[in-house]
Amino acid sequence: MKSFFKYVLATIVGIILSGILMFFIFVGSMGAMISSQDKPVKIDEHTVLHMELSSPIADRNNKNPMENFDFESFKPVNQLGLNEILANIKKAKEDENIDGIYLDFTMIPTGMATLEEIRSALIDFKASGKFILSYADTYTQSTFYLASVADKVYLNPEGLISWTGMRSEIMFFKEALEKIGIEAQIIRHGKFKSAVEPFMYKQMSPENREQIMTYMGSIWNHMLTRISESRNIPVEQLNKLADNLTLNSADAALEQGFVDGLKYKDEILAELKELTEKKENEEIKSITLAKYTKVPKKRKSLEKDKIAVVYASGSVIMGEGAEGTIGSDRISRAIREARKDSTIKAIVFRVNSGGGSALASEVIWREVKLAQQVKPVIASLGDVAASGGYYIVAAADKIVANPNTITGSIGVFGMIPNGKELLNDKLGIHVDVAKTNQHADIYSFSRPLSAKERETIQLGVENTYETFITHVAEGRGMTKENVDAIGQGRVWSGANAIEIGLIDEFGGLDKAIEIAAQTANLEKYRVVGLPKLKDPFQQLLEDFQGNVKASILKKELGNEYRYYQRLQDLKNMQGIQARIPYDIELY
């Protein structure tokens, strides 16, 4: 028995020591990866910039090594932020060693406004006279939209272009909740505030269908117009081809003018050799977008005057939050720092959010308002800046968005689940409460709201909506009646929004920075990003456990990870919400 315990203890100690050793090996590997990211890269003349976009594109990469690491292959993953992609394209335009860009993608899991900004940057790149060539085995509608700017668009002879028109799908849960005995108690303001419709109905309300068809039609028409300009195909013909499912083969894509030729990869490489003046026996020199980030820019003098870009992406929540969420404390502090820093002459508030907590939105709005009274504040809207995401930019001097940005959704709601039937009738569970006051258990899951309680919550919703439209009216120079007329929770595209006064100009982040510089009368300046990102090694130690779990889940679930993330967001919903109807995804 004595020897048994000795061996057990030795085994336990061995496991612990092995775990510690593996941890330090892992940290050492990550540290080496982090240090390697800082090493500059040199390129030769006649190099091709290889753009292969297959990962989700955030407004900026947070440099967190845990999120940029594949735990299955145990290798780093090169994920770039939009800011890095745009900077690389601009750098390549002026780089005498870059001959052109090779677009190589099939599906890009990102929003249409992000693609619009990349597309605009590629169009600007073409002004240099350098080539852009695109090739894919298959194209989705969104990747073809991006590829259509290329001088030559090629497709695999057995490939396909998905061309069917745009759709938006919503999943409804009302009947499922009824079957398990849960009632979603809804309090909202705005006939278009359809965030809660999946819990109320089995299909879209007429109002919701109207708003979806309006903004989706606007985005689709914008996309068709731009493709028509690039490929010289009439918009009417593009719609007809989608209705008739004409693009059912690579030959059809060539016949209809979508592509310039049908080629295999080896033929594409041969053409790239010609474009870069390589001999047949010479290798093509290329560099990936991620690696090109490490190629130093031409040195410029370090300007004292600065424009701060405050990045706010994700759900609006109370508290500190982290990169990927809009924590009221963290974002407010960044705006406050920019306001008090005398070397920062203007602020660009970059927002990519469908909203969240109304109270958190109010906290951030206040800091934007204070900053706007001291220096120019220009809002730049990404893929989505709606509901709480629009609330927080309402005080900006100007709002810049793309035609396919999802915005508006000026409305609020509250939802409290009632699980009395589930607990009592389905599970046989009964809850008894001891309370000092009549409504102490107002938010209890075990009973429905009383009429008085529902009336009180409705009053809170109405007061929040009144505050929301007041802020928008003041910020946009409109009457509250006008804001209410275009509000009611209705979602708009950027093309719609400019017509009704919710945004001022079309453009992406670069355009917003340009406007900020003009407004602040700056000729020379440098751009700084806020909130400041943590040192990668510090983030590694702080976020080790949580990000390992998230990274593994992302790898296992793939695109379906977003559904898991939505469930996590539901858990964090507290108080009255200013959110868009649902996670808008256009296909």
* pLDDT tens by residue, the chain, 587 residues: 556 556 566 667 667 766 566 555 555 555 555 455 567 888 999 999 999 998 889 999 876 655 555 555 555 566 799 999 999 999 999 999 999 999 999 889 899 999 999 999 999 999 999 999 999 999 999 999 999 999 999 999 999 999 999 999 888 999 999 999 999 998 888 677 677 888 899 999 998 899 999 999 999 999 999 999 999 999 999 999 999 999 999 999 999 999 999 999 999 999 999 999 988 788 999 999 999 999 988 766 678 999 999 999 999 999 998 888 999 999 999 999 999 999 999 999 999 999 999 999 999 999 999 999 999 999 999 999 999 999 999 999 999 999 999 999 998 888 899 999 999 999 999 999 999 999 999 999 999 999 999 999 999 999 999 999 999 999 999 999 999 999 988 999 999 999 999 999 999 999 999 999 999 999 999 999 999 987 665 655 555 555 555 555 555 555 555 555 555 555 555 667 777 755 555 55
Nearest to 380 by CA among 475, 511, 526: 511
Instruction: Give the structural domain span for 157.
Output: 47-163+247-292
Instruction: Respond yes or no: is residue 387 known to be catalytic.
Output: yes
The CA distances from residue 565 to 61, 111, 320, 571, in Å, are 19, 17, 19, 10
Number of domains in the chain: 2
2 within a domain of the structure (yes/no): no
255, 131: one domain: yes
56 within a domain of the structure (yes/no): yes
259, 288: one domain: yes
Where does a domain end: 259, 292, 325?
A: 292
Residue pair 199/186 in contact (Cβ under 8 Å)? The answer is yes
Nearest to 107 by CA among 44, 65, 162, 189: 162
The distance between the two most distant Cα atoms of the chain, rounded to a whole number of Å, is: 87
281, 346: one domain: no
128 within a domain of the structure (yes/no): yes
Write down the H helix ranges in 494-584: 494-499, 509-519, 536-542, 544-557, 561-572
Residue 131 has φ and ψ, to the nearest 5°, of: -85, 155
Residue 79: both structure tokens together: 């994920």
326 within a domain of the structure (yes/no): yes
390, 258: one domain: no
CATH number at residue 78: 3.90.226.10
Based on its alpha-carbon atoms, the radius of gyration of the chain, rounded to whole angstroms, reads 27
Residue pair 533/323 in contact (Cβ under 8 Å)? The answer is yes
Nearest to 444 by CA among 421, 424, 417: 417
Instruction: Respond yes or no: is residue 444 known to be catalytic.
Output: no
436 within a domain of the structure (yes/no): no
Catalytic residue among 218, 387, 493, 551: 387
423 within a domain of the structure (yes/no): no
32 within a domain of the structure (yes/no): no
497, 348: one domain: yes
384, 511: one domain: yes
252, 397: one domain: no
What does the DSSP 8-state code read for residue 103? E
284, 391: one domain: no
469, 320: one domain: yes
366, 286: one domain: no
Where does a domain end: 292, 325, 348?
A: 292
Give me the sign of the Cα torsion angle 115, 121, 126, 132. Answer: negative
Residue pair 569/454 in contact (Cβ under 8 Å)? The answer is no
346, 477: one domain: yes
Q: What is the distance between the alpha carbons of residues 509 and 86, in angstroms, rounded to a whole number? A: 9
Catalytic residue among 193, 278, 375, 554: 193
400, 253: one domain: no
Give the side-chain half-sphere CA count within 13 A for 467.
Answer: 19
* Residues in CB range of 336: below 8 A, 6 or more apart: 367, 370, 371
186 within a domain of the structure (yes/no): no
Nearest to 528 by CA among 83, 69, 49: 83
Question: What pTM did the predictor assign?
Answer: 0.87
